[in-house]
C-alpha cells in the first residue's frame, strides 16, 4: 500500500488528517508486526 493511499483512507474512513511522515511510520510499524506474526505462526 502506498503512503498516499494510507493518507486518503485515514481521511475518508476516520475523518483524520495525517501527514506523510505519520503514514510512513505506521507502514513501518505494520510491516514489523506482520513479519513477527508470520514468524510466530509458521516459524
What confidence tens digit (pLDDT) does each residue in 20-32 have? 999 999 999 999 9
- Which helix (H) or strand (E) segment is 3 a member of? helix 3-14
Q: Please compute Rg for the chain using Cα positions.
A: 13
Expressed as residue numbers, the domain containing 34 is: 3-42
Q: What is the pTM of this model?
A: 0.70
Number of domains in the chain: 1
Cell 502506498, residue? Answer: 2
Q: CA 25 to CA 35: how far, in whole Å? A: 16
Cβ(10)–Cβ(27) below 8 Å: no
Q: Which of 20, 24, 36 is nearest to 11 (CA)?
A: 20
What confidence tens digit (pLDDT) does each residue in 5-22 have? 999 999 999 999 999 999
Amino acid at each position: 500500500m502506498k503512503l498516499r493511499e494510507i493518507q486518503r483512507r485515514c481521511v475518508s474512513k476516520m475523518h483524520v488528517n495525517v501527514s506523510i511522515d505519520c503514514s510512513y511510520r505506521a507502514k513501518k510499524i505494520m510491516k514489523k508486526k506482520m513479519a513477527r506474526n508470520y514468524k510466530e505462526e509458521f516459524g
